[in-house]
Amino acid sequence: MDAMTRLLEADAITRLVNRDPTLFSDDIDMRQKISQRLGWTDLADKAVSRLPLIESLASEIAHDGVTDVVLLGMGGSSLAPLVMSSVIGPAGEAPVLHVLDTTSPTTVAESLSRLEPRTTAFVLASKSGTTIEPLSLYAIFREWMDADLGRVAAGKRFIVVTDAGTPLESRRQKDVMRVAITAPANVGGRFSALSVFGLVPAGLVGLDVPALVEHARGMEQACHGPAETNPGAELAAWMADALSAGRNKLTLVSSATYRSFGLWVEQLVAESTGKEGTGIVPVLEDGRVPVAAYGADRALVVVRGEGDEAAATHAQVARGAGVPVMEYVLSEPIAIGAEFVRWEFAVALTGVLMGVNPFDEPNVAEAKRATAGVLDGSVTVPAASADIDGVWVTAAGALAEENSSSDLADALAPLLGALDPGSYLAILAYLADDESLLAPIRDAAAAVSSRHGVPVCLEVGPRYLHSTGQLHKGGPGNGAFLILTTRDRADCTIPGEPFSLAQLYRAQAEGDLVTLASHGRPVVRLDLPAEEPAALAAVARALAGPRDSGS
């Protein structure tokens, strides 16, 4: 029975729109939790009522002379506004949005040196109000703002977005921040693009939020309709049918304008489906990996503008090669609002078809606990077994016995040798989100994928911990992992914490190393002496070099 027939027989659309938790689980306790995560199904329609508040805030900060808005968030509270700003682009003389979803000391130090306190405002976003990354960044930037503007004036430059009743809402009053805007408690982070988590930052930097919401409302109405003509159900059935055929690597190729959208799709798909030993692996590509290198585990989604012939050709070639293809052609960037809704409905329904609860993330907390253990010394990190020109090499998990290396290519050989048909490689890079550093690794990833015929994902840490990190631990278990860290001296004190930003950043990488190893995944860590282009280029050469260790 195909997936669409199963959706029809289950009356899945009606039950989802009516927020029926029995659609997702037979367990009474689980149903109660799920019922608290279904408020997104009419979020676009309800967003209209929030527009006056957003417009008022935008007017206020413009009156204050703000030229830069910094979003301090992570995962579901940061990716949607990042996509909106990147796809739609700057709005005239409106402030510029900077999304800080990292604990990279290099990135934070660069922001501190570039921004001007008197023309900067902040959005502090956390659904739980306890997320360590944005709260650590807040402590750093708040001290910086207080020193220049004074406590009261600085407080007026901070806007809080959180759920009602969280510790962060209470802290807003204590720290005299401007306002706390509460989000619906029954909407999970990765389904919150059309809530205030996504719309407030977008509105503050002058994006046409009403038009974006209108596109979303049109798609929402369509996704409430009959399954046979429902865009969300169509995508869900296609993904589930591909999965049933063994095609669990959902490859997303986008036009340059829409490339950042893949980061949001990646989190939604990976965290929602990657659990209980199963899952769909999202693979973000730019079209450089040829279709000829695709294995039988690939399915392809192309998101493109009307004039992108290269992406259109990639889709056509894939169809000709028998790869399942879904293609979406957007008429204008603002239409991205509709795509958030399409994918939310599709992923929720895919969860139904897979028999998993798409609204929890049971393995994300593992890495968080390990990070805390690294910071307090209660967790032991696997030691490096080789020093190659200052690069410390650690093999762990399924590769724990691989402890001799003469050069970087030799150090990476066991990891590449673990790549079998149906597997994937994830490069987990704890680096600043800077193309001078990432570009050679990105090139190497494409080369490895083409040579070995497996998907290669380049993930930036710690962002991925709140995204594909769930899939890496809880998913199908066919991933191999390369963790890249550096020993830079750049650092920032976190006021009120016993650890520095660099210590937190490193602990997050090491906590994930420990967690992946505990699941028996093949893992290699390369700890570089410095975060420099030359060092990353050397790693890229070793990764993409002529040595074919997979055969």
Structure token pair of residue 23: 């659609």
pLDDT(445) > 60: yes
User: With bands split at pLDDT 50, 70 and 90, how would you rate the model's confidence at 549?
Assistant: very low
Mean pLDDT of 115-134: 97
Stretch 202-229: mean pLDDT, rounded?
97
- Please give the radius of gyration of the chain, using alpha carbons only, rounded to the nearest integer: 23
Average pLDDT, the chain: 96
Nearest to 61 by CA among 87, 93, 105: 93
pLDDT for 212 beyond 80:
yes
Q: Are 460 and 431 in contact (CB under 8 A)?
A: yes
Name the DSSP letter for residue 221.
Answer: H
Determine the Cα–Cα distance for residues 105 and 446; give it in Å rounded to an integer.
28
Per-residue pLDDT tens for 407-426?
999 999 999 999 999 999 99
Instruction: Provide φ and ψ at 342, rounded to 5°.
Output: -55, -50
- Domains of the chain as residue ranges with CATH: 3-20+223-354 (3.40.50.10490), 42-207 (3.40.50.10490), 364-544 (3.40.50.10490)
CA distance 214 to 230: 18
Does residue 392 carry a pLDDT above 80? yes
Rounded CA-CA distance 206/263 in Å is 22
Strands 391-397 and 386-388: antiparallel
**β pairing state of 386-388 and 424-429:** unpaired
Give the chain's largest Cα–Cα span.
Answer: 66
Q: Per-residue pLDDT averaged across 336-350, rounded?
A: 98
Q: ∠189-190-194 over CA atoms, to 5°?
A: 85
pLDDT > 70 fraction of the chain, expressed in percent and rounded: 98
Average pLDDT of span 249-264: 98
Task: Note the pLDDT of residue 401.
Answer: 83
Helix axes 196-204, 209-223, angle to 10 degrees: 150
Report the pLDDT averaged over residues 265-282: 97
Phi, psi (rounded to 5 degrees) for 429? -105, 110
> Given a cut of 90, is residue 551 above it in pLDDT?
no
Q: Residue 377 pLDDT > 60, yes or no?
A: yes
> In the structure, what pLDDT confidence band is assigned to residue 90 with cuts at 50, 70 and 90?
confident
pLDDT score of 548: 46
Long-range own/partner contacts, residues 326-330 (CB < 8 A, 24 or more apart): 326/235, 326/238, 326/299, 326/300, 326/301, 326/302, 327/301, 327/302, 328/301, 328/302, 328/303, 328/304, 329/304, 329/305, 330/258, 330/303, 330/304, 330/305, 330/306
Measured CA to CA, the distance from residue 248 to residue 275 in angstroms comes to 13
Please state the rounded mean pLDDT for residues 98-110: 97
CA-CA distance, 250 to 242, in Å (whole number)? Answer: 9
Residue 498 is given by DSSP the state S
Quickly state the pLDDT bin for 403 (edges 50, 70, 90). low
Using DSSP, state whether 121 is helix, strand or coil: strand
| pTM of model > 0.95 | yes
Where do the H-state alpha helices sit in 224-333? 231-244, 261-273, 309-320
429 closest CA partner among 338, 531, 344, 305 = 531
Q: DSSP per residue over 13-34, as a string? A: HHHHHTT-GGGT-S-HHHHHHH
pLDDT(550) > 80: no
- In sequence order, the β-bridge partners of residue 481 are 426, 523
Distance CA 350, CA 299 (A): 15
Closest C-alpha among 236, 131, 112 to residue 491: 112
Average pLDDT for 345-372: 95
Q: Is 428 exposed, middle or buried (0-12, 13-18, 19+ CB in 10 A)?
A: buried
Phi, psi (rounded to 5 degrees) for 358: -80, 0
